[in-house]
Amino acid sequence: MKTINLEFTPDEFGPEKVLVVYDPRTKMQGYLVIDNTARSFGKGGVRMAPDLNIKETMRLSAKQCLDHGYAHIGVEAAL
């Protein structure tokens, strides 16, 4: 089992859910951040980069939530 430090503290605005995925065979690690599902179900977005971290993923998720909220579409998630 791998231990990781996510270095973030959720607040009253989110994120709603954070999942960490890790494949020991390929050593791939990823994050699924669902910012908010208050208006709709969480939609998905994928981000893959060797230097992507949890804080950047949370920022992207919150931005997509706001973008879609302004358009009255719903919410977004980022991986």
Q: Is the pTM of this model over 0.75?
A: no
pLDDT in tens, 38-50: 777 776 666 777 7
Indicate if the pLDDT at residue 30 is higher than 70.
yes
Report the pLDDT averaged over residues 16-26: 85
| Region class of 2: left (phi > 0), else alpha (psi between -120 and 50), else beta | beta
Q: How confident is the model at residue 71 (pLDDT cuts 50, 70, 90)?
A: low
The CATH classification number of 17-78 equals 3.40.50.10860
Indicate if the pLDDT at residue 72 is higher than 60.
no
pLDDT of residue 13: 74
Length of the chain: 79
Give the count of beta carbons closer than 10 Å to the beta carbon of residue 35.
27
